[in-house]
Structure 1
Amino acid sequence: MYLEHLSLTDFRSYAQVDLELSPGVTVLVGSNGLGKTNLVEAIGYLSSLSSHRVSSDAPLLRFGTEQALIRGRLVRGAQKVTVEVEINGSRANRARINRANPIRSRDVLGLCRSVLFAPEDLALVKGDPASRRRFLDDLLVVLMPRHAATRQEYDKVLKQRNALLKSARSARFSRGGVTEGHLSTLDVWDAHLAAAAANLLAARLDLVERLRPHMAEAYAQLTDGSKLLRGLYRSSLDPAGEAAGQDDAGTPDAGGLPRATSASEAEDLSLCTVEELTALYVKALADSRPRELERGMSLVGPHRDELELLLGQAPARGYASHGESWSVALAMRLASYYVLDEDSHIPDNQPILILDDVFAELDVQRRRKLAAMVGGAEQVLVTAAVAGDIPAELAGAHVQVIPGGILPGTANPEGEAAHDGA
């Protein structure tokens, strides 16, 4: 699969821009601040309905506007499909397929598969556990779009349960105290949270198992192979795992070597059915209730979990050098690409690979290694401030990005011209 045409209206810095693309490698070249990343961000949004740069949609709207439009024409073998997403400032987003009637935006998930690596991905290694949880959940949505509803259901139940716990905590300091009504209602929300948490946890555990060998292989290929990259899922179902995943009410130390039993515990959970995980959550929620009533928040659930990254025997967070951290983050995104690629049951559905400002941070040797790894993808989109940063192994089309658009006459490999629709 590849993206043949991208059109943006009032998205970020663009009032209107149209970009023609072809299979193979396309390099978007331009000085910093001209909008290269805005173009690839739009493709990422078309794929996941989220931005890799911001957590809300408001900054995606061109300043002073109330609506943005992303439209992409995708080619899969002999088939073409046009997908568009309408991002609205004051109402729900909408989408269309082949210019048909509007549908829910999440109904287009799965049509455009892409993997985007950007400098912000250093947070996958150096940031708090929320960054790594989002990495897993965003990939789940692209891999299996039904998990958008799984995550949405969990977030909804968690919000309601936290509101109840906060109310109960306030009641503890009033004359009435925590009532039977609080406790009976909490029993109901415990059951809802356990069921939603079990579905999300089961999906994450399966995904980590699929990612693990690809992460190790990608990191070895990018480096000299002297250190093994591993990912261990630390669940809040285990008391030590809950502590490792804290970030909402207290961030744990970045150091501290993992316990030797972590891997076996993760494997045990991965063997559980959803029903068994639900039962484990029910028990864990009952055990943690006194602490939750005291603190007014949910202390058990996937929102407290951690994907721990290990380089050799030490955690990557806090121990990895800047270069190692960059390679770990890149290996995670490449692993995502490999998982999506091997999962595809539809012919010609290889994901689009996007590398945003990657090569400027790599030495010559690692540039060549990365180029060799990605050169076989059906479509690779690369951004660069300086064309000379791109290895010769990634020869392809060069599109010049200028303020507000694309330089007219920029040639693609077939000799056609990309154009600016502004």
Structure 2
Amino acid sequence: MRVCHLHLNSYRNYDHLDLKVTSQLCVIVGANAQGKTNLLEAVYYLATARSFRAHKDDELIKHGVDEAFLGCTVDREVNPSEIRIRLTRNRPKQITVNARPLRRHLDLFGHLNVVTFSPDDLQLVKGGPGERRRFLDMELSQVSGAYRHDIATYQRVLRQRNNLLKEISERRADPELLQAWDLQLLDTGCRIMARRATAVKQLAHFARLVHHEITRGGERLTIRYRPFFGSTDEVGEGEWEDSESLRARFAKEIKRLRQFEMRRGLTLVGPQRDDLEFLINDQDVRSFGSQGQQRTCVLATKLAEIEFMRAQTGMYPVLLLDDVMSELDENRRHYFLGTVSGRVQTFITATGLETFPQEFLSQSQVIRIVRGKLS
């Protein structure tokens, strides 16, 4: 999977960009605040219909105009995709794939798969559980239409159940009404958890191999799925495949926390409270890992994410690296570049070329950006 062509109009600081991508390796060079990250963000937006920085689409439209346009051509080995997105202030975005309008934004997922890596990704280890759930959801949403559907359904059910719990806490609704929402929470939540558990098991396998190579066998990385009801150590090996067993455990938690939920007016059970654990030599990386260990952990996880997505779809995703070369020491930098070279289309931003080996640059398309223009 690779992006062959990128077209932008009135996007961020770009008046107009028409970029033909001629290499698997693209190094985007420029001083700070010239538009390097904006270009990566555009590729990410064309894959997911969302920004990894902005909260509102209006922030993506160039100041002083009312409309922006993004487009790209994706070579998918079998069926190429032409993705077009039009953003208009105070109106819903319009998305087409191969000239066909998409009814739901979720349907864009899978046409262009991406993995991002930036200094902010340290929050995957250092941040709260929400960061890790978002990571899992983005990874799985790109490779599984069923997971995308379940997440959307679950979020709707959760909102409705929370609204009802709030009314019950204020004595404005009958607690018996919860039963219907409990069933929907249970059905969809169990499917989400089973898929997460399976994905984390596969991701952990790839990450362990990568981490072993980076550290030359000096450390052992373990990634564990931590469901809302406790540690995975408490879950039998086959329990994730046994839907009835998982359902019974989930239902038990609903019953146990019923009174607490009605008093607080909030759902306290379900996959919206899941987490991931990262351990090096059985020690929690978040609490006990050094900055270097945390960086290596995230690096291994991101490379594992690439392999996981390839295993699921048969195609490598596009890799977006935002100012990470300066964050890695020489050993990790060479390992990372050597791993992705020739296999994964990679867009890398940098303020200069001095951190890249000459052999890498000789294979790369170097794109220089000055104030939102190719130079």
Common fold, TM-score beyond 0.5? yes
Q: Which moved more, 1:198-207 or 1:376-385?
A: 376-385
Match of 1:376 in 2: 342
Q: Answer yes or no: is the 8 Å Cα contact 1:52–1:120 preserved in 2.
A: no
Q: Deviations over 1:277-335 (max 9, x none)?
A: 33432231111111112222111111111111111121111222222212211211111
Q: Answer yes or no: is the 8 Å Cα contact 1:116–1:354 preserved in 2.
A: yes
C-alpha change, 1:37 and 1:232, in structure 2 (3 Å) is same
SS in 2 for 1:387: coil
Q: Deviations over 1:321-361 (max 9, x none)?
A: 2222122112111111001112224xxx3221222211111
C-alpha change, 1:77 and 1:400, in structure 2 (3 Å) is same
For the aligned residue pairs, the C-alpha RMSD in angstroms reads 2.1
1: CA distance, partners of 2:342 / 2:323 = 20
2: CA distance, partners of 1:153 / 1:401 = 42
Q: Work out which of the residue numbers 320, 327, 334 in structure 1 matches 2:289.
A: 320
2: CA distance, partners of 1:194 / 1:264 = 19
Unpaired segments of 5 or more residues in structure 2?
none
Q: Work out which of the residue numbers 342, 355, 370 in structure 2 matches 1:389.
A: 355
Match of 1:290 in 2: 259
Q: Answer yes or no: is the 8 Å Cα contact 1:212–1:231 preserved in 2.
A: yes
C-alpha change, 1:293 and 1:77, in structure 2 (3 Å) is closer
Alignment map for 1:136-175 (pairs within 5 Å): 136-171=136-171
1: CA distance, partners of 2:206 / 2:196 = 16
Alignment map for 1:14-413 (pairs within 5 Å): 14-77=14-77, 80-101=80-101, 103-171=103-171, 181-238=173-230, 241=231, 262-263=232-233, 265=235, 267-273=237-243, 275-345=244-314, 349-395=315-361, 396-407=364-375
> Aligned-pair distance for 1:79?
5.0
After TM superposition, the score normalised by the length of structure 1 is: 0.82
Q: Deviations over 1:125-174 (max 9, x none)?
A: 11000000000000011111332221111111111111111222223xxx
Match of 1:257 in 2: none
C-alpha change, 1:85 and 1:40, in structure 2 (3 Å) is same
SS in 1 for 2:170: helix
SS in 1 for 2:74: strand
Q: Deviations over 1:18-62 (max 9, x none)?
A: 221123211000111111111111112222233223455343333
2: CA distance, partners of 1:280 / 1:56 = 39
SS in 2 for 1:226: coil
Q: Answer yes or no: is the 8 Å Cα contact 2:194–2:241 preserved in 1.
A: no
Q: Which moved more, 1:58-67 or 1:8-17?
A: 58-67
1: CA distance, partners of 2:225 / 2:56 = 27
SS in 2 for 1:270: coil
> Aligned-pair distance for 1:370?
1.1
2: CA distance, partners of 1:57 / 1:160 = 26
Q: Answer yes or no: is the 8 Å Cα contact 2:320–2:346 preserved in 1.
A: yes
1: CA distance, partners of 2:321 / 2:44 = 11
After TM superposition, the score normalised by the length of structure 2 is: 0.92
1: CA distance, partners of 2:165 / 2:324 = 44
Structure 2 counterpart of 1:335, one-letter code: A
Structure 1 counterpart of 2:247, one-letter code: T
- Identical positions, percent: 31
1: CA distance, partners of 2:333 / 2:67 = 39
Unpaired segments of 5 or more residues in structure 1?
172-178, 242-261, 408-422
Q: Answer yes or no: is the 8 Å Cα contact 2:157–2:185 preserved in 1.
A: yes
Q: Answer yes or no: is the 8 Å Cα contact 2:129–2:276 preserved in 1.
A: yes
> Aligned-pair distance for 1:369?
1.3
SS in 1 for 2:228: coil
2: CA distance, partners of 1:190 / 1:379 = 44
Q: Answer yes or no: is the 8 Å Cα contact 1:214–1:335 preserved in 2.
A: yes
> Aligned-pair distance for 1:393?
4.1
> Aligned-pair distance for 1:75?
1.6
Q: Answer yes or no: is the 8 Å Cα contact 1:375–1:393 preserved in 2.
A: no
- Provide the aligned length of Structure 1 versus Structure 2: 373
1: CA distance, partners of 2:86 / 2:211 = 37
> Aligned-pair distance for 1:81?
2.6
SS in 2 for 1:19: strand
Q: Answer yes or no: is the 8 Å Cα contact 2:240–2:246 preserved in 1.
A: no
Match of 2:6 in 1: 6
C-alpha change, 1:66 and 1:309, in structure 2 (3 Å) is farther
Structure 1 counterpart of 2:267, one-letter code: S
Q: Which moved more, 1:318-327 or 1:25-34?
A: 318-327
2: CA distance, partners of 1:88 / 1:150 = 29
1: CA distance, partners of 2:185 / 2:307 = 32
